[in-house]
Structure 1
Amino acid sequence: MRSGLRPDAGLHDLAVSDGCTDTVLVIACGALAREILDIRDRNGWHHLALTCLPAQLHNRPERIPAAVEAAVMAARPHHGRIVIAYGDCGTGGQLEALCDRLGVTMIDAPHCYAFFEGSARFAAHDDEITAFYLTDFLVRQFDAFVWEPLGLDRHAELRDMYFGHYTKLVHLAQTDDPALDAQARECAARLGLAHERRGTGYGDLPRWLERA
């Protein structure tokens, strides 16, 4: 796989399928592509196919349900089972309602921060309202997903308006990568926040995929 995923990676960019109805298709957020492919390959799950929706949908979560529905309807004739590698991701319960209607399973978590750390463990940090979270993907794509969408590349004075109530940046690290850790520290410095690293690995994601 490529060393990095384009923020605008589209529906078919990472599709892996032989068109066999015995396959299990995972329709995933593009931000999870690297991790899902690694889990699949490590376990030899050759029957598992992956299709990714653009990771940039996280900036417009109201569009996620419609994109997921379109992907499910297009894929149904070609796969025996379809699962949805999304948490609620800011859809306000709309994605869960859609999945119930379509009869497909999604991850039972509010967002990727929760299932990477482990939902129970993440819930124990419910007092961390001043923490700003980044996964490995978001560290790699910090400019595309945080800095530029918020206009900080053009108006640095907005930083304190957006992040003045935060105290720390928490890097939920899926891998042990010193270069990525350094990038996360740089992200924290650019936002004027303290840096904390938590090694999570893939959290609940492998177990969810195994059940799928």
Structure 2
Amino acid sequence: MATASKHAKTQDGKLLVIGCGMLAREILAVKEQLGLDHLDLTCLPAEFHYYPDRIAPALDKAIVKAKADGYGQIFVGYADCGSGGMVDRICEKHGVERMDGPHCFAFYQGMEAFRAIEDGDMMSFYMTDFLCRQFDAFFIKPLGLDRHPELIADYFGNYEKVVYLAQTNDPALDKVAEDAAKLLGLAYERRFTGYGDLSSSLAKAALITA
């Protein structure tokens, strides 16, 4: 009991964000921009992007650990992310909130903007700053496209365009996205989103904590 009390005291006024590893850089950037010095961050593996069934169980354990470590304020840096409502069930179980929306591609654009264009984007392959940085590691190598480029049509044949949702203005990342569109034989569109609703959601969670 004495150890638990010590932990709780050290976390007074702290907000812990338990986020997707794909958002780590962006969450830290928002933290710096907004001066959220009382925000701590821990991330689950980015590879859960491919295994959404793993998100909820890992999130459950992470929240339990965070509470044991003395965090009274916790915010989930995930949308539903293909979990089929399981992220919401974990949030309800622990009395915490998460990012609004179905996935990061939505909240980066802002939920109102996303709702206006989501039907028109049904055949779009989204990329973000993270996915540009990790294009080879997340797509080319796991899908075997470096060894079997003929599989591109099988994996991407139903898409019409690559939409790069840019969080920053980085020519190197622009080139990755443009080259990806050429490689996949798709049209290309760049949309500068910045951090979208990630900024306002973290600001709101931090304000409630403060």
Please give the TM-score of this superposition, normalised by the length of structure 1: 0.88
CA distance in structure 1 between the partners assigned to 2:18 and 2:104 by the alignment? 14
Displacement over 4 Å in runs of 4+? none
2:90 equivalent among 98, 114, 119: 98
User: Which residue of the partner structure matches residue 107 of structure 2?
Assistant: 115
Matched AA of 1:144: A
Matched AA of 1:62: D
2:177 equivalent among 184, 190, 194: 184
1:54 equivalent among 45, 49, 69: 45
Contact 2:14 2:40 in 1 (8 A): yes
Matched AA of 2:58: A
User: Which residue of the partner structure matches residue 125 of structure 2?
Assistant: 132
Greater RCO (Cα-Cα under 8 Å, separation 6 or more) = 2
User: Which residue of the partner structure matches residue 25 of structure 2?
Assistant: 34
CA distance in structure 2 between the partners assigned to 1:74 and 1:167 by the alignment? 43
- Residues 67-106 of structure 1: CA deviation (Å, up to 9, x unaligned): 1111101111321200100001010111111111111101
- Residues 37-95 of structure 1: CA deviation (Å, up to 9, x unaligned): 11111222111100011101111100000111111011113212001000010101111
Q: Secondary structure at the match of 1:124?
A: helix
CA distance in structure 1 between the partners assigned to 2:120 and 2:188 by the alignment? 17
Q: Secondary structure at the match of 1:154?
A: coil
Q: Which has the higher helix share?
A: 2
CA distance in structure 2 between the partners assigned to 1:136 and 1:201 by the alignment? 10
Q: What is the identity percentage for the equivalent residue pairs of Structure 1 and Structure 2?
A: 52
* Bigger mean CA deviation after superposition, 33-42 or 148-157: 148-157
- Residues 111-139 of structure 1: CA deviation (Å, up to 9, x unaligned): 00000011111121212221100111001
Contact 2:76 2:99 in 1 (8 A): yes
- Unaligned 5+ residue runs, structure 1? 1-17
Matched residue pairs, number? 195
User: Which residue of the partner structure matches residue 66 of structure 1?
Assistant: 57
Q: What is the RMSD of the two structures over their aligned residues, measured on CA atoms?
A: 1.3
User: Which residue of the partner structure matches residue 202 of structure 1?
Assistant: 195
Q: 1:59 to 1:19 in 2, by over 3 A?
A: farther
How far off its partner does 1:210 sit?
A: 0.9
How far off its partner does 1:193 sit?
A: 1.0
| Higher-Rg member (1/2) | 2
Matched AA of 2:182: A
User: Which residue of the partner structure matches residue 5 of structure 2?
Assistant: none
How far off its partner does 1:19 sit?
A: 4.5
Q: Secondary structure at the match of 2:163?
A: strand
CA distance in structure 2 between the partners assigned to 1:42 and 1:131 by the alignment? 31
CA distance in structure 2 between the partners assigned to 1:139 and 1:39 by the alignment? 19
